[in-house]
Structure 1
C-alpha cells in the first residue's frame, strides 16, 4: 500500500487529501481520504513542515502504518546539500512505525543537488525533483518514473492535486 498526500491552504484552514494505491504503476487509487483543519499555523519561512505535518498526521491516523510501503509527499525530504530536514524528513521522524517517505517536487532549490534525483517523464524537458528517506534515492526516483501517466506529473499525483484544490477549503 502506497499513500500520496497533498494539502491546500486558505489562511488558517486546510483541506488534506490522501490517495492510497497498491503499486507504483497503478493508474487508479483504491481509497481516498479527505479531511479539513481549522487551526493551521502561520507560514514560517524555512519551517513549512510546522504547517503541513499536523495535516498529514490527520490522514495517517486513519491508516494502519504497518500496511504502508511508502508515503509520497508534495515537497522535499531534504532542503539543501547539508541535509537540512524538509517536510519529508520531519514526517519520517514523527512516525512511530517507520515508513519510507518520498518527496516529489516540481521546482528545484539552488543549493539542493546532493540529495535530489531529477526524473524526466514523458516528453517533458523539465524534471521532477525526487528526495527520499528510508529508501535508496535512485530506487525512489525509479519508482516515481514508473508511475502511470505519459506526462511530467504522474496521473495519480495530478489527480491528488486536483482533489486537494477542488471545492474551496470550506
Structure 2
C-alpha cells in the first residue's frame, strides 16, 4: 500500500489527511484517513519539518506500517545539494529508514536542483519537482509521471489537496 499525505493549517490546529492506494494508475483511493492536531508548532523559516512532521506522525498512528510500501509528501526530501534534510528525509529518519519517501513539490527550491527531477504531466508547461530517499529518483519521477490524470497534478494528489482543505 502507498500513502500520500498533506497537512493544512488553521489558526488553532492542523488537519493531516492521507490517501491510501495500491496501484499508481488508480483514480480513486482505497481509503482516506484524517487526523486533527491541536498543538501545532509555529512556522519556523528553514525548519518547516518541525511543524509538519509531528502532524504526519500523528496521522501515521492510523496506518498499518507493516503493509506500507512508501509515503508521498508535499515538499522536498532534501533542501540543498549537500543533502541537508528536508521534510521527506526527516520523515524517513523518524521511520527508522524503513519506508521510502517521495517528495512532490509544486515550486522549485534553488539550492537542491541536483537532487530533484522535474517532470511535466499532461499539457502543463509547469513542472512538478520530485525528490526521494529509500527509492531511486528515477523510479520516483517515473511513478509520479505515470499516475492517473491528464493534468499537472495526478488525480489522487489533487484529490488529497482538496480533501485536506475541506
Smaller-chain TM-score bracket: over 0.9
User: What is the RMSD computed on CA atoms of the aligned residues?
Assistant: 0.9
Judge conservation of contact 1:12–1:42 (CA < 8 Å) in 2. no
Q: Matched residues in 2 for 1:85 and 1:149: separation?
A: 30
Judge conservation of contact 1:66–1:97 (CA < 8 Å) in 2. no
1:101-116 equivalent positions in 2, closer than 5 A: 101-116=101-116
Residue number in structure 1 paired with 2:3: 3
Q: Matched residues in 2 for 1:66 and 1:159: separation?
A: 25
Matched positions, count: 166
Judge conservation of contact 2:97–2:134 (CA < 8 Å) in 1. no
Q: Matched residues in 2 for 1:24 and 1:72: separation?
A: 12
Residue number in structure 1 paired with 2:131: 131
Q: CA deviation at 1:97?
A: 6.5
- In the superposition, the TM-score normalised over structure 2's length comes to 0.97
1:77-96 equivalent positions in 2, closer than 5 A: 77-96=77-96
Q: CA deviation at 1:11?
A: 2.6
Residue number in structure 2 paired with 1:161: 161
Judge conservation of contact 2:107–2:129 (CA < 8 Å) in 1. yes
SS at match of 2:93: helix
**2:143 is aligned with 1:143:** yes
Q: Matched residues in 2 for 1:59 and 1:143: separation?
A: 24
Q: CA deviation at 1:96?
A: 3.8
SS at match of 1:160: helix
Which stretches in structure 2 are left out of the alignment for 5+ residues? Answer: none
Judge conservation of contact 2:119–2:141 (CA < 8 Å) in 1. yes
Q: Matched residues in 2 for 1:109 and 1:138: separation?
A: 19
Residue number in structure 2 paired with 1:49: 49
SS at match of 1:39: coil
Residue number in structure 2 paired with 1:61: 61
